[in-house]
Structure 1
Amino acid sequence: MTKHRIYTMSFASVYPHYVAKAEKKGRTKADVDEIIRWLTGYSQEDLEAQLENKTDFETFFAEATQMNPSRALIKGVVCGVRVEDIEEPTMQEIRYLDKLIDELAKGKAMEKILRK
C-alpha cells in the first residue's frame, strides 16, 4: 500500500491555509497555534521550528511531544469521513487537526474546541 500524499507534504505548506481559514472567520493565528499545541504537545518554539524546517506531516505527528489524550473526544465528519472511525493513526491525527480548525472557523468557543 502506498502512503497517502499528505504524509509527505510539508506541514508548513498547509499551515497558512489553517490560519487563513481561521482569520476569514475572525479568529487568529494565535488561536490556530493554541489548537496545534494542545493537540501535539509542542511548545510554541518547537512548533515554529517544525514550520521553519518544513517538516512533513508524518514526521510532524511522529515527533509530537505528547499527543493530547483528550483528542479521542474529537468526533465528527471531515471530508465525508468520521474522524473517530479512521483506522490509520497518522491520518486520524491529521483529520483531528482538520476537525479542530473547522470548529475554530465555525466560531466554537476555545474551551469546547480544546475539550475542557
Structure 2
Amino acid sequence: MAAHSLVAMPFARIYPLYVAKVERKGRSKDDLDTVIHWLTGYDEDGVDAAVAEGVDLEGFFAAAPRLNPNASLITGLICGVRVEEIDDPLMQKIRYLDKLVDEVARGKKMSSILRGDGSLGAGGPAGPSGR
C-alpha cells in the first residue's frame, strides 16, 4: 500500500481492524485503547470522536493532543521496515501505532508496551481499568 493512500485512510476504517486483531489474540479493546491513549494523548472521547467524524490518519495524528515523549523508544520491524529509521514523521507515527498494536496482540506485558511509563501522556493517571 502506498504511503499516500495509507495516510488518507479513515481512522474509523482502521480502528475496528485493530480491535479485531487484539481480540482475536485474546486481548481486549481496553488494552488497545490504553496504547492509543498513551501514544497520542487522546482520551476515550477523543478516539470516539475521531472514529465518528471519519478523520483520516493524517488528521488523527495532526489533532492528537500530545505524542508521548517516550514514543521514540518504540523500535523494531513493522511491515519489514525499522520504525526508528522512518524519515517521514507522519508515517513514523502511524507505524508506531502499528507496532504497539502488534505488541498488544502478541500478549506483551502492558508495562513493556508502554516503555515502562504507566502514565497516559496528556490523559492523566491510569484509572481502575488501566485506561
Q: Which residue number in structure 2 is paired with residue 88 of structure 1?
A: 88
The TM-score normalised by the length of structure 1 is 0.96
Give the corresponding residue for 1:101: 101
User: Which residue is 1:12 aligned to?
Assistant: 12
How far 1:11 moved relative to its partner? 0.5
Q: Deviation at 1:3? A: 6.0
1:33 is matched with which residue? 33
Give the Cα separation in 1 of the matches to 2:43 and 2:13. Answer: 20
Q: For residue 43 of structure 1, report the CA deviation from its aligned partner.
A: 1.1
User: 2:3·2:91 contact (CA, 8 Å) conserved in 1?
Assistant: no
Which sections of structure 2, spanning at least 5 residues, go unmatched?
A: 117-131
Q: Distance in 1 between matches of 2:105 and 2:63?
A: 27
Q: Secondary structure at the match of 1:66?
A: coil
Unaligned runs of 5+ in 1: none
Aligned to 2:62: 62
Q: Deviations over 1:61-94 (max 9, x none)?
A: 0110000010000000000000000000000000
Say whether 1:76 aligns with 2:76: yes
Identity percentage of aligned residues: 53
Give the TM-score taking structure 2 as reference length. Answer: 0.85
Which SS does the other structure have where 2:21 is aligned?
helix
Contact kept in structure 1, 2:25 and 2:106, CA below 8 Å: yes
Deviation string, structure 1 residues 12-71 (Cα, Å, up to 9, x no partner): 101111111100111001111111010000111111101110110000001100000100
